[in-house]
């Protein structure tokens, strides 16, 4: 599969491009609103085609699919333009600004007969897959869960993650992972409650804490933030055990990781060799496209994740719990 990259965003250069290079696929084009920047990045990374605007790449480049790492508020527009060009799309998380837009994007791509997949790369790490297996097969009556994702966002006050017009905020940037993880382990919540703080006076949440309530009586706490040191973690507790892991959402492809758990009094630590979850994500996406199968991160998964995010924001705004239908 030949990929075109929409923008010279840091995540594309540092994560997706190396991942595609490790796979059997290729990056054959990159576009930026600044043609000089596109040409410089293309020359540095050995990409054969550079474009000074996104439309030109979609219309002219020798590509089969697009990776869309644009700011959140631009995901829908450029995903649908790529679909118009008959290109499949791997779109960065969160896929849309809200549940309604997510549904519209997937329905549009379906009408255009192209594949859209949201890029939650952590779901393709063998540790995540093993954790989900343990929770599903070995735990009795999961009672609680928690997930945190924070880092200190310092420096540029114009960072796109602080821009409400670009759908910034800690829940959109980081908390979407924590929501995804708790849904993976505990299922779909029935009700949520959230509080948020805008410590930067930017118009977006710089910290958000939420409680998810499930039909089983289980609860989960999620927290995201730009104001405290780096933490990536999740924990699940059941009547007969628990499971916990650190550095769970963006594992270094050159670093081994572990998961710790206890089941019926048996304590285990499992180690996982270094693996690139971005590479596994790319390979899964390409295989789904080529085989015509449904990707693991499909329409239902992405739409439901956005529905919970919408409810958390609504709860934080209203100061009271919000039910999900």
CB 52 within 8 Å of CB 34: yes
**Do 85 and 182 belong to one domain?**
no
Please tell me whether residues 148 and 265 are part of one structural domain.
yes
Tell me, what CATH number does 92's domain have?
A: 3.40.50.720
Domain with 167, as residue range(s), is: 122-323
Enter the pTM of the model. Answer: 0.97
What gap in Å lies between CA 209 and CA 316, rounded to an integer? 9
Residues 6+ apart with CB under 8 A from 212: 179, 182, 186, 189, 191, 192, 219, 220, 221, 222, 308
165 and 242 in a single domain? The answer is yes
pLDDT (average), residues 202-215: 98
pLDDT in tens, 158-170: 899 999 999 999 9
The answer to whether 282 and 90 have CB atoms below 8 angstroms apart is: yes
Residues 103 and 145 in one domain: no
- Rounded distance, CA 73 to CA 163, Å? 10
Q: Are 282 and 16 in contact (CB under 8 A)?
A: yes
CB 280 within 8 Å of CB 123: no
Cα–Cα distance list, 153 to 11, 178, 223, 227 (Å)? 16, 18, 15, 6
- 86 with 194, same domain: the answer is no
Question: Domains in the chain: how many in total?
Answer: 2
Domain end marker among 119, 144, 177: 119
**Rounded average pLDDT over 35-44:** 94
Residues 30 and 173 in one domain: no
Residues in the chain: 325
Q: How do strand 142-150 and strand 231-238 relate by DSSP bridges?
A: antiparallel
Q: Are residues 59 and 140 in the same domain?
A: no
Residues 131 and 266 in one domain: yes
Domain check: are 114 and 179 in the same one?
A: no
Could you tell me if 79 and 192 lie in one domain?
no
CATH label of the domain that carries residue 129? 3.30.360.10
Peptide bond into 94 cis (omega under 30): yes
Q: Return the minimum-mean-pLDDT range out of 202-216, 223-237, 240-254.
A: 240-254
Return the structure tokens found at 261: 């758990």
144 and 69 housed in the same domain: no
Domain final residue, candidates 85, 102, 119: 119
pLDDT in tens, 212-226: 999 999 999 999 999
């Amino acid at each position: 599969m030949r990929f075109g990259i929409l923008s010279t965003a840091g995540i594309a250069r540092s994560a997706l491009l190396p991942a595609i290079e490790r796979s059997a696929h290729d990056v054959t084009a990159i576009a930026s609103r600044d043609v000089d920047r596109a040409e410089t990045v293309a020359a540095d990374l050995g990409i054969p085609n550079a474009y000074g605007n996104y439309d030109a790449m979609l219309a002219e480049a020798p590509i089969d699919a697009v990776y869309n790492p644009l700011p959140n508020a631009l995901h829908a527009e450029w995903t649908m333009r790529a679909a118009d060009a008959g290109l499949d799309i791997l779109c960065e998380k969160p896929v849309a600004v809200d549940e309604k837009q997510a549904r519209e994007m997937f329905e549009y791509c379906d009408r255009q007969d192209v594949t859209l997949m949201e890029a939650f790369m952590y779901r393709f790490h063998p540790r995540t897959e093993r954790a989900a297996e343990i929770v599903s097969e070995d735990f009795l009556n999961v009672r609680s869960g928690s997930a945190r994702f924070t880092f200190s966002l310092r420096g540029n006050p114009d960072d796109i993650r602080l821009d409400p017009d670009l759908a910034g905020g800690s829940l959109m940037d980081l908390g979407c992972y924590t929501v995804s993880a708790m849904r993976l382990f505990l299922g779909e919540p029935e009700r949520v409650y959230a509080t948020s703080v805008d410590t930067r006076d930017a118009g977006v949440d710089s910290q958000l804490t939420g409680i998810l309530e499930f039909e089983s009586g289980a609860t989960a706490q999620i927290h995201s933030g730009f104001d405290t040191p780096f933490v990536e973690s999740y924990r699940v507790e059941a009547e007969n055990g628990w499971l916990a892991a650190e550095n769970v959402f963006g594992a270094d492809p050159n670093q081994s990781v572990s998961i710790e758990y206890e089941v019926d009094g048996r304590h285990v630590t499992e180690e996982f060799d270094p693996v690139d979850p971005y590479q596994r994500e790319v390979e899964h996406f390409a295989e789904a496209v080529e085989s015509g199968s449904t990707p693991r991160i499909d329409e239902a998964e992405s739409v439901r994740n956005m529905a919970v995010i919408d409810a958390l924001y609504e709860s934080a705004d209203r100061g009271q719990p919000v039910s999900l239908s």
